[in-house]
Amino acid sequence: MRHEQITHAEATALNPEIAQVRGRRAAGSRRHADIEALRMIHPGLRTLAHWLAESGADSLRKRLVETASPGL
């Protein structure tokens, strides 16, 4: 996946809430997900590795082909 940093003005143009989140992140605010607690709530929660092995890699490959060959 590609990541591109956007400016505060671009974030504000997208949505003021996005700009607020961007500002908090720039100031050092971070969120933490308690994965073990999430697994208790959602026992079927998969890891990235499991998702890739099950279907994710195929989905990503298909998407890359579609992006590289629009109109085919």
Of the CA atoms within 13 Å of residue 40, those in its CB half-sphere come to 4
Domain that holds residue 45: 33-72
Model confidence at 9: pLDDT above 90: yes
- Percent of the chain beyond pLDDT 70? 94
Q: Residues 24, 39: one domain?
A: no
- Write down the residue that tokens 């996946």 correspond to: 1
Q: Whole-model pTM?
A: 0.43
Q: Residues 11, 44: one domain?
A: no
Q: Residues 37, 59: one domain?
A: yes
Q: Residues 61, 49: one domain?
A: yes
The count of domains in the chain is: 2
Q: Which of 4-8, 35-39, 41-45, 54-58 has the lowest mean pLDDT?
A: 4-8
Residue 72 has a pLDDT of 57
How many whole angstroms separate alpha carbon 46 and alpha carbon 43? 9
**Residue with more model confidence, 1 or 44:** 44
Q: Residues 37, 69: one domain?
A: yes
- Spatial CA neighbour of 11 closest among 20, 29, 27, 28: 20
What does DSSP assign to residue 46?
P
